[in-house]
Chains A and B, each alone.
Chain A
Amino acid sequence: MTVRVGVVQFPGTNCERDVVWAVEHLGAAADLLWHGDADLGGADAVVLPGGFAHGDYLRTGAIARFSPVMAAVADFAAGGGPVLGICNGFQVLTEAGLLPGALQKNAGLKFLCCDSELRVDSTDSVLTNRAIAGQILRVPINHFEGNYVCDAATLDRLRAEDRIVLRYVDNPNGSLDDIAGICNEGRNVVGLMPHPERACESLLGSEDGAVLLRAFLAAAVAVPSA
């Protein structure tokens, strides 16, 4: 059976077709899910893609967390289903409380659109379990609010539980502890600011994102359909 990935589209999302392309390029199927949907349409995995959900008004992700589909995403995550938040999707996951912390304006107050080098610091997550610890991946970033913050107790816990899965080699945005991506306690919900879906084809400069997305698709196989 082909793995089916649900790609959630909020008003203002703009990277959903990149994710659909990458998922299909890697041999799985993808369905767009509208934010007003009450269920995930039987998806085996869910991606919250990048963009500006609900215009990013108030705070990034703040309104999106109340979209009807988010209750289904939370249930799916609680049941162990693989959930990936990329860029704005990461911001939505933190606002929804599915991942700790928050994402602030970049320290340099510049919108950053460039390649970044990421170091795989934990291979124990649905996104990184096919990478090698310490492996350097070249994946682009494209954000204004990617500066990860959390309180000291949360940071201690993330470190102690090996939940900081990706760190920037050269911190571009002021993120606490160079954090580029983290996972939840169950290691099935991962959020990251860089865009692995844009690094799955050598023509686009890097295929390193495929290392991450292949792991995510493989994790979907292991979970019964929602």
Chain B
Amino acid sequence: MARFEVRVDVQHLPGISDPAGATVERALPALGYENVSQVTIGKVIRLVVEGEEADAVRAEVDEMCRRLLANPVIEAYTIDVGSVQPA
């Protein structure tokens, strides 16, 4: 068994309103940043998962995302299975 560091990035699905992102996008020009668009605010979830190998861990985290970590009605997610923690 190894301990994999996993990062899940949850963002709004395209077309789903993101009022927090839109508010930040409106605020940035007030500070002089006129060159910003498509601001979205999502979530990053970090977890450590024990497993035999990365693919199995990814599949298990994908199931966690579908069942709890993300709401597929409004959110999309990406999973990054990273380095293995030393034992």
Contacts and interface: CB of A to CB of B under 8 A. Distances in A.
B74 interface: yes
A149 B16 CA distance: 7
A105 B17 CA distance: 9
Interface string A94-124: 1100001110111111000000000000000
Contact of A105 (B19, B69, B71, B73): B19
A147 interface: yes
Contacts of B68: 58, 62, 66
Contacts of B19: 104-109, 147, 174
Interface residues of B, number: 10
B71 A59 contact: yes
A105 B74 contact: no
A101 B17 CA distance: 13
Contacts of A102: 71, 73-74
A150 interface: yes
- In the A-B complex, the 6 residue pairs with the closest CB atoms: A102-B73, A102-B74, A105-B19, A109-B19, A107-B19, A109-B23
Given A104-B17, A105-B19, A107-B17, 12 more contacts: A66-B68, A94-B73, A104-B74, A105-B20, A106-B19, A108-B19, A147-B17, A147-B19, A149-B17, A149-B74, A151-B73, A174-B17
